[in-house]
Amino acid sequence: MITDFEKLIPRGAVFSIKQIDDMDLIKSDMLKKLIYKQAIEVLKIGTKNFITRTALIAFLEDNTIPVAVAT
């Protein structure tokens, strides 16, 4: 089964850390660690960090382990 993040994540250009936390995708503490480690691409506007929808989908796809299907 492949998760379709295009359908799962709402439309929008950029999301704040709180918005992503509210979507129950990645908790804010973990997202801050990922930003600090430069594991996810960040758009910085002033002092605030934002994640583009494209970067969020790319991160989730790169870090999703598919379920092995027994045949």
Provide the CATH number for the domain around residue 41: 1.10.10
Average pLDDT estimate for 16-27: 94
What is the total count of domains within the chain? 1
67 domain residue, yes or no: no
Res. 2 pLDDT band, cuts 50 70 90: low
Looking at every residue in the chain, the average pLDDT score rounds to 89
- In this prediction the pTM is 0.82
Residues 51 and 42 sit within 8 Å (Cβ to Cβ): yes
71 domain residue, yes or no: no
C-alpha of 64 from chain center = 11
| Size of the chain in residues | 71
- End-to-end alpha-carbon separation of the chain, Å? 14
Enclosing domain of residue 47: 5-62
